[in-house]
Amino acid sequence: MQIYFDHNSTTPVDPEVLQCMLPYFTEQYGNAASRTHSFGWVAEQAVEDARKQVAMLINAEEQEIVFTSGATEAINLGMKGVFETHQNKGKHIIITATEHRAVLDTCSHLESLGAKITMLPVQPDGLLDPEELNKFIDEQTILVSVLYANNETGVIQNVKQLSEISHAKGTLFMSDATQACGKIRVDVNEDGIDLLPFSAHKLYGPKGCGALYVRRKNPRVKIRAQIDGGGHERGMRSGTLNVPGIAGFGKACSLAAQRMWDDSRHISLLRTTLEQNLLDLGGVSINGNTRQRLPNTSNLSFHGIQASTFIKDLFQIAVATGSACTSALPEPSHVLKAMSASDEIAYSSIRFSLGRTNTMEEIMFCIEKIKEVYLKSK
Ligand code: PLP
């Protein structure tokens, strides 16, 4: 039995999504920018249909969606685009210490260009204290960026409150919603978000496709493009569009909207069963706020064990230590460290991220396997 509990790293493509993509590889292979024949028109229509579906998932307007190669590119476009456009007003950007590397590394680059970056600490449960944000915004602040839901712990920030604080001080608010979109309701208007990057492959769509939501009204957000040439995506992201990927992304968004409630109920039940059984072993604790958390994510510390060796013994079960994108690095998770976890807790932590197709049988198998390996290693 091979069990996949690493859906925050990536998800399988839903069969309905794949079916929707296939014709755009071999039959309807036109370039969406070709205006002189029906191959181009069909491709353009597929892109525009998908734009509606993607926009609908986050309650945005279609014209507010810019397609990219994924969330990393969307984050780069959002942050660098704001910095280039607004640096005459100020050069100060605020983020939290638990952001994804895509945000952290983009900020390091901007720092080398003269940006002043403030990285706010989080509380031990992973939440940012809104008062802390309020204290640090000044007249030089051009952007606040806070991760909607954390990829390692699933902790969901109080985005609405944080955006209100930012707007009251005249600052744009971005939220990396790569892990939130498709798992919980995200509404850019209700949440007051100006820029929102997300990705197809975290919600049962294809890899290599994502989007940046850019608000067009109240306020109209202006950002400088980061890829020039051809003027695609209303000049905000040039390059021939990935039509099959975009069509699949659209389908994945509309399936996510339809299934969110059922998926969430099913997955929460699996997670509760997993956590209750593992906590009963003793010496196991949950990392992160358990009330404001994605329904699929469980970050557990198995005290006294080294997670990297532990998961080798769980070879049939695909899980992660820390974030998948940084698991090549030997350092403890920067997210858990920012939550004031000791090295011992950070090194003993394992992330289980469940998905739509997981079953109770898999959960029971996993519990038994962990019991066996954990009790032997204690
Ligand atoms: N932001 C978060 C929170 C993520 O979890 C990830 C991927 O792990 C990314 C950004 C990067 O997404 P992509 O793989 O689409 O570039």
Atom of ligand 1 nearest to the CA of 9: 8
Pairing mode, if any, of strands 210-214 and 195-199?
antiparallel
Ligand 1 atom closest to the CA of 74, numbered from 1: 16
Q: Identify which of 157, 178, 196, 297 to mutate to test ligand 1's pocket (most ligand atoms within 8 A of the CB).
A: 178
CA of residue 378 to ligand 1 center, whole Å: 34
Kindly state whether residues 200 and 294 are assigned to the same domain. no
Indicate whether 217 and 269 sit together in one domain. no
Asked if residue 310 and residue 171 are part of one domain, the reply reads no
The answer to whether residue 378 sits within a structural domain is no
Helix, coil or strand: residue 173? strand
Residue nearest to atom 12 of ligand 1 (CA): 71
How many residues are recorded in the chain? 378
H helices, E strands: number in the chain: 12, 12
Beta bridge partners of 93: 117, 143
Q: Which residues are catalytic?
A: 325
Single residue among 235, 254, 273 that ends a domain in this structure: 254
Last residue of one domain, picked from the residues 254, 279, 307: 254
Q: Which atom of ligand 1 is nearest to the CA of 323?
A: 8
Pocket test for ligand 1, best of 72, 204, 296 (most atoms within 8 A of CB): 72
Q: Which helix (H) or strand (E) holds 350?
A: strand 349-353
Query: pLDDT at position 329, please?
Result: 53
Q: Is 376 part of a structural domain of the chain?
A: no
Are 147 and 54 part of one and the same domain?
yes
Residue 175 lies in a domain: yes
Angstrom CA distances, 345 to 231, 286, 290, 349, stand at 49, 10, 17, 6
DSSP state of 31: -
Contact 224, 86 (CB under 8 A): no
- Ligand 1 pocket test: pick from 148, 155, 199 the residue with the most ligand atoms within 8 Å of its Cβ: 199
Q: Which amino acid is at 141?
A: T
Number of domains in the chain: 2
Distance separating alpha carbons of residues 348 and 356, to the nearest angstrom: 27
In a domain, 313, yes or no: yes
Same domain, yes or no, for 278 and 340?
A: yes
Closest CA to 163 of 188, 184, 181: 188
User: Are 285 and 244 contained in the same domain?
Assistant: no
Question: How many A from CA of 126 to the centre of ligand 1?
Answer: 18
Ligand 1 atom closest to residue 72's alpha carbon, by position in its atom list: 16
| Whole-angstrom distance, CA of residue 277 vs CA of residue 315 | 20
Sheet holding 284-286, edge to edge: 284-286, 297-302, 349-353
- 293 three-class SS: strand
- For the stretch 326-355, pLDDT in tens is 455 568 999 999 999 999 999 999 999 999
SS3 content of the chain, % helix, strand, coil (to 5): 40, 15, 40
Distance 48 CA to ligand 1 centre (A): 24
- Residue 322: inside a domain: yes
Backbone phi, then psi, for 301, in 5-degree steps?
A: -105, 130
Q: Which residues, judged by CB distance below 6 Å to any ligand atom, belong to the binding site of ligand 1?
A: 70-72, 100, 102, 147, 151, 176, 178-179, 199, 210, 325
Residue 242 lies in a domain: yes
- Flag whether 365 is in a domain: yes
Residue ranges of the chain whose pLDDT lies below 50: 323-326
Domain span including residue 277: 3-9+259-370
Same domain, 276 and 201: no
Q: Which residues pair with 214 in a beta bridge?
A: 195
Q: Separation of 178 CA from ligand 1 center, angstroms? A: 6
Q: How far is the CA of 138 from the centre of ligand 1 (A)?
A: 29
CB of 167 within 8 A of CB of 195? Answer: no
How far apart (Å, rounded) are the C-alpha atoms in residues 218 and 125?
33
What are the phi and psi torsion angles at 363 (to 5°)? -65, -45
Closest Cα to atom 6, ligand 1: which residue?
178
pLDDT confidence of residue 331: 85
- Which among 294, 303, 20 has a CA at the least distance from the CA of 184? 294
CATH code at position 72: 3.40.640.10
**β-bridge pairing 141-145 and 92-96:** parallel
Q: Whose CA is nearest to atom 13 of ligand 1?
A: 71
Give yes or no: residues 222 and 296 share one domain.
Answer: no
Beta carbons within 10 angstroms of residue 113's beta carbon: 11
Measuring CA to CA, which residue among 255, 225, 248 is closest to residue 66?
225
Q: Are residues 339 and 224 in the same domain?
A: no
Whether residues 188 and 287 fall in one domain: no
The reply to whether 82 and 23 lie within a common domain is: yes
Residue 50 contacts residue 36 (beta carbons within 8 Å): no
| Nearest CA residue ID for atom 5, ligand 1 | 151
Please check whether residues 47 and 20 belong to one and the same domain. yes
Q: In terms of C-beta density within 10 A (0-12 exposed, 13-18 middle, 19 or more buried), how is residue 270 classed?
A: buried
Report pLDDT digits (tens) over 114-173: 999 999 999 999 999 999 999 999 999 999 999 999 999 999 999 999 999 999 999 999
pLDDT computed for residue 330 by the predictor:
67
For ligand 1, the distance from its centroid to the CA atom of residue 266, given in whole angstroms, is: 24
Please state whether beta strands 116-120 and 92-96 pair in parallel, antiparallel, or not at all (unpaired): parallel
Check: pTM over 0.95? Answer yes or no: yes
Amino acid of residue 362: E
Instruction: Residue 361: count other Cβ atoms within 10 Å of its Cβ.
Output: 10
Ligand 1 atom, smallest distance to 70 CA = 15
